[in-house]
């Protein structure tokens, strides 16, 4: 499992719309948001490719000004190896 932390900067007038769109995506969670439009978001996906694709997809959501990956961690699937 890949776990990534990203900072999303949304247009201040579109924070609620962006948050709603992000919360609809499986494996994506919004943990905090500021009035200035900065959001702390995590992405959990099984593979590096899916994580990268999701990061790019998030950046294309209308109202998002920028995204920055600030953390990435990989945990092996212990159930699959047991």
Does the pTM surpass 0.75? The reply is yes
Q: What are phi and psi of 73, to 5 degrees?
A: -140, 140
- Contact status, residue 64 vs residue 13, Cβ threshold 8 Å: no
pLDDT value at residue 73: 95
pLDDT value at residue 78: 74
pLDDT value at residue 81: 55
pLDDT value at residue 49: 95
What DSSP element (H or E) covers 74? strand 64-74
pLDDT value at residue 38: 98
pLDDT along the chain (82 residues), means of 10: 97 96 98 97 96 97 98 83 55
pLDDT value at residue 77: 77
Domains of the chain: 2-81 (3.30.70.920)
pLDDT value at residue 32: 98
By C-alpha distance, which of 33, 48, 41 is closest to 1?
48
């Amino acid at each position: 499992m890949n776990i990534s932390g990203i900072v999303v900067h949304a247009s201040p007038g579109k924070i609620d719309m962006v948050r709603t769109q992000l919360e609809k995506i499986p494996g994506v969670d919004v943990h905090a948001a500021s009035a200035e439009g900065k959001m702390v978001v995590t992405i959990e996906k099984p593979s590096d490719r899916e994580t990268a694709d999701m990061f790019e997809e998030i950046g294309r959501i209308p109202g998002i000004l920028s995204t920055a990956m600030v953390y990435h961690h990989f945990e092996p699937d212990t159930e699959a190896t047991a």
